Chain A
Amino acid sequence: MTQRTSHAVEVLAAVLLVAAGSTARAAGGTVAGKVDVTPAKYLAETVVYLKGVPGNPAPRTRDMDQRGMQFVPHLLVITAGDTVKFLNHDSVAHNVYSPDNEGYNLGSFKQGESRTYTFKSPGLYTQLCSIHPEMLGYIFVGDNPHAAAVDAKGRYELANVPPGTYRLAVWNSHLKAPPDKSVTVTDGKTIQENLTLKR
């Protein structure tokens, strides 16, 4: 390959990459907004998600650690088919179990060890430790990847949603969820949807 030919290939590749990137950015829209939670102290345990978004996402593996006798993160959002690796960085043994949905008990394991569990069904899984009953974590398993925990100000963003009409839902550990909202997503657009949660 001559130097000129090589340069042409590089340019072509760059053009193709840019085009591909543009296509990816344009593939889908965004649903964003803010969740108003009363009492505000329950805000951190809030997930906003879309129901019925088609797709077959590749399974991923995510970590949930146990540090200082706490599950870290306190709330983990994953998709059905994902695997969670439970770590233990404490100098004391922990047990991980959940009484929710199909339920599981991963036994006890000491510092430096880990256990894994693959979540097949969507739903909310409370994470408990039978050795330390005060420990609590949540794993929210969506039926598609378009789910997110709110940030400290209650904001959320669900990006790259394929165009279509879906139901926008919210989960909170203590508060009643409002009725689902119907949202229509179009390519390249951002829909603003604010939600309110209370008793």
Chain B
Amino acid sequence: MRILRLAASVLALTALWLPSKARSIPAFARKYGTSCLTCHTIYPKLTPFGEAFRRNGYRFPGVDSDYVKQDVVALGQDANKKTFPNSVWPGTLPASVPIAVGFNGQTLVSPDRTSSVARGRNGAVFNLDDLVAEGHIWAGASLSDTVTVWAELTLNESSSPVTLEHAQVLFNDLVGPAHVVNLVVGKGFPTLSSFGPHSSYLADIQIPNAPVTGMYGLSADPFVLVDNYKGLELNGVVAGRFNYAVGVNSGKNTFSSGFETEDAYASAGYKVGGMRLDGEGSGGAADPLHPWAEDALTVHGFVYHSVEHFPTPGAPTLASDDVGLTLGVGARAQLGSLELDLGFYGQTHSHGTATLGGVTADVTWGEVSYVLFPWMVPAIRVEHMRLAPDGGPSVDDLHVMPGIAFLVRPNMKVILAGNFESATGFPQDGGGGALGWQGGSADWGSFVLTPKPGAGPAQGLQEMESIAIFLAWAM
């Protein structure tokens, strides 16, 4: 029973650190009077043009307002710039509220009742509890040709009822040539790659999360790389081929408020071939029937310094800190409709284990996909995580996820995926017992491991966790 409760709590906690499930927002489709397919293949996966739109601060290449079809209310005319400071600097407002809504959830079928996923669900093989798990309210708009806003509220049935996922103001083209210097203020994802955070056909996020302090029972809301943080970020695209970002954010803290903001990161990438990173001057895809296809190679890397605060085990009125340093690299190679994404990061934690010992996490992932039809993309995703704590057993987990993503309609999708896992070792609690854990990149497909009754921390497991059916629609 203890194991079942443990497994259930592992699954329930996941929603706390997995970010929102989609980033496709029909508010943009309405704004520009364009199909989702202008920017997406199977959303939220972006085409090269969609990636450029995202990098440009949710703006079209060229002059964004040229492409806006929706009526806007002028809050001041451009000519008012000539009379500044005797008038307010002008701006615009969408004539209709730039809101979109979406829903998503998953059904997991676990043929093996003894798998970690099934044990987390009372041994259920078929369970519809999460068929609709989340609702989203998105907002995306321009306040001028250079200032844009982006926000997201998520309604979750299993964790916090309402979560403010994103609320960002993007000041684009601050100085110099277009796209070179942009400032993002607010709450959102740190830019750690040349591509959007949801850049996967099968998973929710491109970079799998390793919630180390959560895995060792230190924090109910552990630091992970891809999450929504309050901060400032400077980013940009230089000469169309080089992208960069530097930022600071409030990080994770489950002790109390008021700690020094110390989390900082930087990333950079370079693209060879294909559309420019900012989409400027594009003559369009080589084959207009395959606007997602291009021959290109992009390499990128990042560094992240984090400081997490949480209650000290055994002395919860005292704060403990875990200082982390992460170095990561990645690459995307695209040959027509065939795409290979690879990535790796190594992460050190000063006090990440249950006994506040040091631990390192190495995370590797890869996803190969092929756009067979504009509405059908088979793919296979592989994720590997290794934890090496000071003086304890290591954890080694391989997650293999073959699947197919379908676009039922441009704004409705289904993912069918299998989840296979092979692992040795478990994180240890303070008394040396094995802890169940979950990490990775999707609610419907991630690392999910719960020790079997009587097993020690060094136990090995090979499991078919589930066949996942993920459903999402937006409007």
Contacts and interface: CB of A to CB of B under 8 A. Distances in A.
A99 B87 CA distance: 11
A128 B77 contact: yes
A136 B77 CA distance: 7
A134 B76 CA distance: 5
B90 A133 contact: yes
Interface string A107-137: 0000000000000000000101010011110
Contacts of B80: 128, 133
Interface stretch (B67-75, B154-162, B210-218, B388-396): B67-75
Nearest to B83: A99
Contacts of A99: 79, 82-83
B287 interface: no
Nearest to A97: B83
A134 B77 CA distance: 6
Contacts of A135: 77
Nearest to A198: B66
B62 A130 contact: no
Contacts of A136: 74, 77, 79
Contacts of B75: 133-134
The secondary structure that dominates the A interface is loop
Nearest to A134: B74
B239 interface: no
A197 B21 CA distance: 43
Interface in A111-167: 126, 128, 130, 133-136
Contact of A126 (B62, B66, B79): B79
Most B-side CB within 10 Å, residue of A39, A134, A135, A136: A134
Contacts of B74: 133-134, 136
B149 to A, nearest CB: 19
A31 to B, nearest CB: 29
A99 B67 CA distance: 28
A174 B62 CA distance: 13
B76 A133 contact: yes
B77 A100 contact: no
B73 A134 contact: yes
B475 interface: no
A174 B90 CA distance: 16
Interface in B62-102: 62-63, 66-67, 73-77, 79-80, 82-83, 87-88, 90
30 contacts: A39-B66, A99-B79, A99-B82, A99-B83, A100-B82, A126-B79, A126-B82, A128-B77, A128-B79, A128-B83, A130-B87, A133-B74, A133-B75, A133-B76, A133-B77, A133-B87, A133-B88, A133-B90, A134-B73, A134-B74, A134-B75, A134-B76, A134-B77, A135-B77, A136-B74, A136-B77, A174-B66, A199-B62, A199-B63, A199-B66
Interface of B: 62-63, 66-67, 73-77, 79-80, 82-83, 87-88, 90
Rank and list the top 9 A-B pairs by shortest CB-CB distance, nearest first.
A126-B79, A133-B76, A99-B82, A134-B74, A136-B77, A39-B66, A99-B83, A128-B79, A133-B80
